Structure 1
């Protein structure tokens, strides 16, 4: 058994670090959400709604968002038409937690790790806001494709970007990145 532990130590360390980071960040995020109480919308989701409205107003000045008074979501209107609701799950925090957990599990030096986490998280947030805005515009123009756009195309987009960020991290910045010798 000890032989296998030694043999697979890097992999086991990665798994332990990944899951520990994921569990801690998820717990902290859940505590943050609980601080708003039942049927109250959290500040991050509210910010995503405002930022999405700003993106949509680039296309149509009548884009608006409106709080739902009875449930925790924001109504999103485009061209005076109710297009979608923005709920807590739309704010990309769970995706950012997944991203951060992977980067920490493959951590490198402290400063590049923290900068990549900050930059990558900000990038994911901005792409998520753009994703919601474009999703709204596409659903307005192609209402019959709503299920495909929301359920397949845009999740594939956001998770694809996260995967590319992970590849960049592992290959360029992590302690496992290959170092090429310059001649």
Structure 2
């Protein structure tokens, strides 16, 4: 058994580090959500911010949009040209995806400085692409409501998770300690 631990030490270290970081960040995020309930930002600050930025981009693309707090649940209603199109919920703010991204990068960490800046730039990229993804999804749902399910459950999640996967691959092949050991 000890021989297996020695042989797979790096794999075990990766899994344990990933899980520790993921659980810690998830707990922090859960506490943030719990304590942001009842704040002046409804439903929570990040979802509120994503909603407002979505509205700004929709207007920049020439759509008459409006973002309103949902009266019955912690979400924001998206209205385009007077028509209710969608609601933006906590899961739409990309924080869970960023937590997943960060956990992987830390588990395959490189130097502290490189890891920090890659996490920062990756998180900004994920957040930005996510807001653009929401805007394009809303425009798609406005013009092609019959494809809402495919767009929302297949196409657009594939975009955000595909990008995260590519960022992971780039990290492992370019900056991680694993790559440095190979050189």
Normalization by structure 1: what TM-score?
Answer: 0.94
Say whether the 8 Å CA contact 2:37–2:44 is kept in structure 1: no
Cα distance in 1 between the residues matched to 2:52 and 2:2: 54
Return 168-177 or 114-123, whichever deviates more: 168-177
Task: Report deviation, 1:99.
Answer: 0.2
Alignment pair present for 1:82 and 2:89: no
Cα distance in 2 between the residues matched to 1:179 and 1:37: 46
1:35-50 aligned at under 5 Å gives the runs 35-37=35-37, 41-50=43-52
Task: Report deviation, 1:54.
Answer: 1.0
**Structure 1 unmatched runs, 5+:** none
Residue number in structure 1 paired with 2:159: 157
How much is the aligned-residue C-alpha RMSD, in angstroms? 1.7
Look up the SS of the partner of 1:176 in the other structure: helix
Residue number in structure 2 paired with 1:63: 65
Moved over 6 A (4+): none
Cα distance in 2 between the residues matched to 1:114 and 1:46: 26
Q: How many residues are treated as equivalent by the alignment?
A: 181
Residue number in structure 1 paired with 2:9: 9
Look up the SS of the partner of 2:87 in the other structure: strand
Return 71-80 or 82-91, whichever deviates more: 71-80
Distance 1:84 1:99, change over 3 A: same
Task: Report deviation, 1:81.
Answer: 1.4
Residue number in structure 2 paired with 1:34: 34
Normalization by structure 2: what TM-score?
Answer: 0.94
Return 54-63 or 88-97, whichever deviates more: 54-63
**Structure 2 unmatched runs, 5+:** none
1:103-182 aligned at under 5 Å gives the runs 103-177=105-179
Deviations 1:19-72 (A, max 9, x none): 000000000000000002379511000000001111111222411101123310
Hey, which of these two has a bigger chunk of helix by percent?
A: 2
Say whether the 8 Å CA contact 2:108–2:177 is kept in structure 1: yes
Look up the SS of the partner of 2:60 in the other structure: coil
